[in-house]
Amino acid sequence: MPPPRTRDARDHRDHRRAPSEEEAPEKWDWSCPETRRLLEDAFFRGEDPIRQGSEECQRFWAFFERLQRFRSLKASRQEEADPGHPTHSIPALADLPRAYDPRYRINLSVLGPDTRGSRELGRCLPPERASEFRRALLHYLDFSQKQAFARLAKLQRERAALPIAQYEKRILRTLKEHQVVVVAGDTGCGKSTQVPQYLLAAGFSHVACTQPRRIACISLAKRVGFESLSQYGSKVGYQIRFESTRSAATKIVFLTVGLLLRQIQREPSLPQYEVLIVDEVHERHLHNDFLLGVLRRLLPQRPDLKVILMSATINISLFSSYFGNAPVVQVPGRLFPITVVYQPQEAEPTTSKSEKLDPRPFLRVLQAIDNKYPPEERGDLLVFLSGMAEISAVLEAAQTYASHTQRWVVLPLHSALSVADQDKVFDVAPPGVRKCILSTNIAETSVTIDGIRFVVDSGKVKEMSYDPQAKLQRLQEFWISQASAEQRKGRAGRTGPGVCFRLYAESDYDAFAPYPVPEIRRVALDALVLQMKSMSVGNPRTFPFIEPPPPASLETAILYLQDQGALDSSESLTPIGSLLAQLPVDVVIGKMLILGSVFSLAEPMLTVAAALSVQSPFTRSAQSSLECAAARRPLESDQGDPLTLFNIFNAWVQVKSERSRNSRKWCRRRGIEEHRLYEMANLRRQFKELLEDHGLLAEAQLVAPGDSYSRLQQRRERRALHQLKRQHEEGAGRRRKVLRLQEDLGDCSSEEDCAGRAADDNVDIQDVKFKLRHNLEQLQAAASAAQDLSREQMALLKLVLGRGLYPQLAVPDALNSGRKDSDQVFHTQAKQGTVLHPTCVFANNPEVLHTQERETAGGEGKQGDKDKMNSSHQLLAFVSLLETNKPYLVNCVRIPALQSLLLFSRSLDTNGDCSRLVADGWLELQLADSESAVRLLTASLRLRAHWESALDRQLAHQARRQHLEEEEGEEAPPISRKEVAALSRELLQFMASKVPYSLRRLTGLETQNLYVGPQTVTAAPSLPGLFGSSTLSPHPIKGGYAVTDFLTYNCLTSDVDLYSDCLRSFWTCPHCDLHLPLTPLERIAHESSCPQAPQEGTAGGEEVAPEPVQKASALQRPYHCEACQKDFLFTPTEVLRHRKQHV
Amino acid sequence: MAGEAEHHALGVFECQLCALTAPYSYVGQKPPNTQSVVLLEESYVMKDPFSSDKATFLVLGSRCSLCSRLVCVGPECSLFYAKRFCLPCVRQHLSAFPQEIRQDVEKRTAPSKKISSQHRSQT
Ligand SMILES: [Zn+2]
Ligand SMILES: [Zn+2]
């Protein structure tokens, strides 16, 4: 590369000229803006080291002012010549300048201003001023060089001082000889940042490093890029769910475990990497454990692939032996000695028997520190508590103590805090004051805070545990493991000798389990099993996990996936299942997306699905603040939480597009964590791309703004945004602020405080990133379309939500209407007595869940609970069931009970006249009259068949598309618009039907004696062949007859119903003029084949037309008429017609 | 994207005194991407890793004009006075320099032997 040859001809005028400045002090004002602009015009042009208007330019002027002041001070003792200075015999020394001038110490020179173009400049800028300016510039550049070099040198010193630096050669050597190497070292040894760089330096260029957390991917990529001196080059990149900085030049990529698994799914041999670093294996995350299993199988097929497992010094032998006794390079951590003080809590007389944590033992530690250590000796305190409730209990007491002593700033730290509040723990306390950080186990490994000298360990942790029987997540408190206890202790010795107070006895410690329970042993395995199925790794039960999951969890997961229709009875992926496996979301939410796409509700469903996939956006303070609640009320939907979230997101997008700078304030006022809304937007976009990729959503037309002017405008805006982002990144590494002592008095979420913080960085970088990542216009269009959704569309959306959430249903307790708001109780199939989560919209407004009282008077006295007869019973469909101190229903939507159960239930059982129905073996519906019962049942059968076939065709179409891989020409959509419209209309009509009925949860005893059981006399049903099923066979277990795979007729025990099979009553078909005495079963049979009944697909015309015909012919059966002694081939209707002749 | 290519490392600069290493992308007196700055010595230059501006460069070091050792610009290894001199050479010929330089050198500490030896043992 030849050095650029430009303007070489220009003389370096002042190159060797002795300095001679400070002439007549005429009127020359350096700080005059015009003067400055003049100089900037002359010196700071495009390719010059400093650009006009840049931050660097501001820094220069600040430097310039300092230099001027310094000069005027030194001006007096200027002209001192060095007296004795003999000429040297060595040539290199001989021509050194005789008189010292600081500018001889500068190794660069700046070319003069370009005055050719500007005569004005030549006139206004006296040459001596120009050279004075140039001199200053020179000093500035020299100063910048020195500063940058000092940073570089410091960086290298720090790297070399890391404990792992001693092991570079050993790690590389071991890796050369072995396929798998375990690098074990505790936090602070530098393994995560250094090992990737060692690999780079050793010449590897296709390195992947997995991290369990997304945040770590970004921060490590930044750190490693910075340390390897290519911060803005592209050798180091990261790839996470929403963003990637990866390019062709990337040599190391940091990515999440989930993402790597997806890459393996696509290319099982991982050809794109030569070295794979799996970091934090000791944390035993579900996907990490699975990845290890996948790798162990892959290694023999890829002998050239190297794997480095990085772990804390926990259970190293487990990993080593799992990979055939892989060699271990163990790096000592850099820890200072830590004194352990055991302070077991005696059973103290607690003030009350409440579950609230007693803060006194913690306060005693604060006191002890105050008494023993002078405030000048710095060092902060980190307290490990089990959960958020415990943190707030101690927070309250500690803040009172702190305001007394003025020696502490108390800060909470847990994952539900806003990012800004989490960041506060990194700020510094004022002199003489210590930070007291109250943290969950997040500070054990995920967050590293410097300056901690004292640790208090409560010995407890709250963890999600999964109960496969109840299918529910439980947040329970456990004793920690010895490994965690050591990890917590270690946090006190990172910057100097420390003290760890353990609030338990040494004997307790000895009784702790050595290691924490791996995730695979305590969480639901649905997602894992689905992923295993889609990666074809074989039977999950025999997969060689590093430690196998509990068999019960696996079985529950497989059953659940079968229940959800993702696996078939032979446990293979169904089309919907393979699609779900590609959506990185909960099965339930994936299902909603697919269902929504059938009804052209994809756009609103995208928003709902995204909203349900992120943490609740409501801040903790939002729950208590009345103002927030009032501000949020207009956005609440009385239909349920998913629709409230839907409204919030849409309103936020509107705010963004109208006055985006205000969105942060808008959120704060409503007690909403804006970060979660950004996550929703990101997730929504990802879902959208997935649906487009899978042909479930027509790809958005690229609507370019019409005229070239607005295009230009848009491009300009984007450029400005990019610049803002770059500037922000330049100024990255947020400066640590000094905490205010009084901070603890006010909740940070109070307006002023936060506003103050927000004002600090005047660029809302989240907003900038948001605008760069999303097409705001498109989002806004979707949001306003959402506001224009018709009642019908909303109802349909709710229906799809309900179907997606099924079977996660809860029934209100019968006595709820007489209870206080806070005492409302709900029952699920597996769990009785659940309550609404406090954030739930129904928690403050449970009346909408009660049946409307006025209707009860209507029903005429038949028998028993007639007062419960009502047409407005509702169920709650919920997203999750979470047990903390109580079992909570999270994210609920209310749905009409009877109609939903008829449409969704996987098992429906009836009595003889169909007036009594049992759904999924736990909910009993008693209808007032059997006529309407049969009508609804018939309608539901037809709608279900129709809906199912539409979905099947949609999925089959999608699968075909996948196969054909972009055949040219657009394939016709699988379901016509008309057909969809007809189906939606009928579904909505069905949902709106009003029939009085009672609803109750069956008792345990009742569920045991629900069915008549197999009948010894299998009397053939009076009519063969229903709904195309070849035979109406007796149900082998329940008794009665299996009508479809979900409907069993007349299998319920009851004294009245035994003979209802043959009870006929006069009936008129609503579609044709048939009027006959028929049993309910016969009515269903007739209606299903009545030629005048609305047929599925008829509205659509085109391709679906043949189906009903086929079905009809399949219904024909040989029929022997007793009356005329003839044999026919008749459909059930034809049989009826024929018989009519003989009446 | 012409600029990208110019930042490709040509090699690794290593100071012969303190063993500091860093990849350099240019050697000479006219750093790429900037037109108005000239260097007064033949320097090893990298793009400033701490700046997002691709025109910002960082001089890593150059050869001592007496012993031609490759030295970094760090104050513990060398100084510039019209030319580059490594500190050992400056100390050896201290009298040839003006008083300001002499005073300055006395203030400076000897290069950190610790780090340099550590580095050596690894390479
Ligand atoms: Zn050096
Ligand atoms: Zn020398």
Q: Residue A145 and residue B35: Cβ atoms within 8 Å? A: no
**CB nearest to B52's CB, from A47, A109, A729:** A729
Task: Quote the minimal CA–CA distance from B103 to chain A in Å.
Answer: 13
Chain A: give the shortest CA distance to residue B4, in Å.
Answer: 8
Least trusted range by pLDDT, from A460-474, A669-683, A960-974: A960-974
Residue of A13, A74, A93 best to disrupt the B interface, most CBs of B under 10 A: A93
Q: Under DSSP, is residue B47 helix (H, G, I), strand (E, B) or coil?
A: strand
Global ipTM: 0.88
For position A291, what pLDDT does the model report?
A: 96
The answer to whether residue B109 sits within a structural domain is: no
Q: How far is B41 from chain A (nearest CA, A)?
A: 7
| SS (HEC) of A1055-1086 | CCHHHHHHCCEEEECCCCCCEEEECHHHHHHH
Give residue A805's pLDDT band: very low, low, confident or very high (50, 70, 90).
confident
pLDDT for A119: 57
Q: What is the pLDDT of residues A620-643, one digit of tens each?
A: 666 677 888 888 889 999 899 999
Whether pLDDT at A25 is above 70: no
Q: Is the pLDDT confidence value at A387 over 50?
A: yes
Confidence of residue A14 (pLDDT cuts 50, 70, 90): very low
Q: Is residue B13 part of a domain?
A: yes
Domain count, chain B: 1
Distance B86 CA to ligand 2 centre (A): 4
Find chain A residues with C-beta within 8 A of B39's C-beta. Answer: 107-109
For A521-559, what is each residue's pLDDT tens digit? 988 898 899 999 999 898 999 999 999 999 988 998 998
Q: Specify the pLDDT at position A455.
A: 96
Distance of CA B109 from the midpoint of ligand 1 (Å): 13
Report, as an integer, the average pLDDT of B56-76: 94
Per-residue pLDDT band for B41 (boundaries 50, 70, 90) equals very high
What residues of chain B lie within 8 A of the CB of A88, using their CB? 93, 96
How many angstroms separate the alpha carbon of residue B8 from the centre of ligand 2? 29
Centre of ligand 1 from the C-alpha of residue B71, in Å: 5
Residues of A in contact with B84 (CB under 8 A): 107
Give the sign of the dihedral formed by CA A146, CA A147, CA A151, CA A157: positive
| Helices A526-534, A257-266: crossing angle, 10 deg rounding | 30
Greatest Cα-to-Cα distance within chain B, rounded to the nearest angstrom: 50
Task: Kindly state whether residue B113 falls inside one of the protein's structural domains.
Answer: no
Q: What is the mean pLDDT of residues A275-302?
A: 94
Q: Domains for chain A: give ranges and CATH numbers.
A: 7-79+99-151 (no CATH), 162-331 (3.40.50.300), 338-347+354-521 (3.40.50.300), 1014-1021+1055-1141 (no CATH)
| Å from CA of B66 to ligand 2 middle | 5
| Interchain pair A156, B59: CB under 8 A | no
CA of A144, closest CA in chain B: separation in Å? 9
Nearest to A108 among B26, B35, B38 (CB): B38
Comparing CB atoms, the residue among B23, B54, B58 nearest residue A148 is B58
Nearest to A47 among B35, B52, B80 (CB): B35
Q: Do A3 and B96 touch (CB under 8 A)?
A: no
| A593 close to A599: Cβ distance less than 8 angstroms | no
Name which residue leads in pLDDT, A1119 or A401. A401
Chain B environment of A149 (Cβ under 8 Å): 58-60, 72-74
> Cβ B36–A1 below 8 Å, yes or no?
no
pLDDT at A90 over 90: no
Rounded to the nearest angstrom, the distance between the alpha carbon of B71 and the centre of ligand 2 is 8
Assigned domain for B120 exists: no
Task: Give the Å distance between the CA of A14 and the centre of ligand 2.
Answer: 28
B44 vs A486: CA distance, rounded Å: 48
User: What is the structure's pLDDT at A275?
Assistant: 97
Strand partners, A1001: A923
pLDDT at A223 (0 to 100): 82
Give A766-785 pLDDT, tens digit per residue: 777 787 777 777 788 888 77
Strands B83-86 and B78-81, bridge-based pairing? antiparallel
Q: Which of B5, B52, B96 sits opposite A726 (nearest CB)?
A: B52
The pLDDT assigned to B87 comes to: 94
Question: pLDDT averaged over chain A?
Answer: 79
Q: How far is A112 from chain B (nearest CA, A)?
A: 8
What pLDDT, in 10s, does the model give residues A1014-1040? 765 544 444 433 444 445 677 888 887
**According to the per-residue pLDDT averaged within each range, which of A187-201, A707-721, A722-736, A1125-1139 is highest?**
A187-201
Residue B2: per-residue pLDDT: 35
Q: Which amino acid is at A494?
A: R
CA distance A1131 to A1043: 16
- What element of type H or E holds A562? helix A551-563
Do B32 and A4 lie within an 8 Å CB cutoff? Answer: yes
Give the mean model confidence (pLDDT) for residues A54-59: 80
Nearest-by-Cβ selection for A149 from B4, B65, B73: B73
Chain A interface test: which of B8, B40, B46, B50 (most A C-beta within 10 Å): B50
* Interchain pair A231, B50: CB under 8 A: yes
Q: Is the pLDDT of residue B120 over 70?
A: no
Contacts 24+ apart (CB under 8 A), A2-11: A3/B26, A3/B28, A3/B29, A3/B30, A3/B32, A4/B30, A4/B32, A4/B35, A6/B35, A7/A111, A7/B35, A10/A111, A10/A112
CA B15 / ligand 2 centre spacing (Å): 12
Domain that holds residue B54: 2-87
Q: Report pLDDT digits (tens) over A916-928.
A: 899 998 999 999 8
**Residue B70 CA to ligand 1 centre (angstroms):** 9
Size of interface A-B (CB pairs under 8 A): 153
Out of A1-5, A317-321, B44-48, pick the least confident: A1-5
Pick from A1, A48, A157: CB nearest B115: A157
| Whether pLDDT at A380 is above 50 | yes
Min distance B45 CA to chain A CA atoms (Å) = 11
Residue B46 lies in a domain: yes
Determine which of A579-588, A848-857, B44-53 has the lowest per-residue pLDDT on average: A848-857
Using pLDDT thresholds of 50, 70 and 90, give the confidence band for residue A20: very low
Task: For residue A149, give the ligand nearest its CA.
Answer: 1
Residue A972 scores a pLDDT above 70: no
Report residue A55 as tokens: 């931050």
d(CA A384, CA A488): 8
Per-residue confidence (pLDDT) for residue A621, from 0 to 100: 67
pTM, to two decimals? 0.70
Q: Return d(Cα A881, Cα A888) in angstroms, integer.
A: 6
pLDDT of A348 over the 90 cut = no
pLDDT above 70 (res A240): yes
Higher confidence at residue A1136 or residue A255? A255
The ligand placed nearest to the CA atom of residue B73 is 1
Read off the pLDDT band of A507 (50, 70, 90): very high
pLDDT at residue A1143, rounded to an integer: 61
What end-to-end distance do the CA atoms of chain A give, in Å?
105
Assign B86 to helix, strand or coil: strand
How does residue A47 score in pLDDT terms, banded at 50, 70 and 90? low
pLDDT of A302-314, one tens digit each?
999 999 999 988 8
Q: Is the pLDDT of residue A732 over 60?
A: no
What is the pLDDT confidence band of residue A87, given thresholds at 50, 70 and 90?
low
Spatial CA neighbour of A408 closest among A757, A740, A752: A740
Provide the edge-to-edge strand list for the sheet that holds A236-239. A236-239, A252-256, A207-211, A275-278, A306-311, A180-185, A328-331
User: Considering only alpha carbons, which residue of chain B is nearest residue A98?
Assistant: B98
A113-142 pLDDT tens trace: 655 555 566 667 777 778 888 888 899 999
Q: Which of A442, A786, A856 is nearest to A637 (CA)?
A: A786
Question: Residue A744: what pLDDT?
Answer: 39
Chain B residue closest to A44 (CA)?
A: B36
Torsion of CA A445, A449, A455, A458, to 10 degrees: -50
pLDDT at A1027: 42
Residue A401 has pLDDT above 60, yes or no: yes
Residue B105 lies in a domain: no
Q: Which chain A residues are closer than 8 Å to B95 by Cβ? A: 86
- A1001 or A1005: whose pLDDT is higher? A1001
Q: Which of A1, A47, A110 sits opposite B6 (nearest CB)?
A: A1
Residue B96 is nearest to which of A93, A148, A169, comparing CB atoms? Answer: A93
pLDDT at A868 (0 to 100):
67
Give the least confident one: A391-400, A739-748, B62-71, B76-85.
Answer: A739-748
Report d(CA A28, CA A61) in Å as an integer. Answer: 16
Least reliable range by pLDDT among A443-452, A557-566, A628-637: A443-452
Instruction: Tell me the per-residue pLDDT of A149-179, one tens digit each, with 9 for 90 and over.
Output: 999 999 888 888 889 999 999 999 999 999 9
Q: How far is the CA of B46 from the centre of ligand 1 (A)?
A: 16
In a domain, B19, yes or no: yes
Answer yes or no: do A152 and B58 touch at CB < 8 A.
yes
Which pLDDT tens digit goes with each residue over A1038-1091? Answer: 887 888 888 888 788 765 544 555 566 777 777 777 777 777 777 777 776 777
Query: What type of residue sits at position A533?
Result: K
Amino acid A747: pLDDT:
41
Short-list A1082, A978, A90, A704, CA closest to B96: A90
Name the band, by pLDDT with cuts 50, 70 and 90, for residue A695: confident
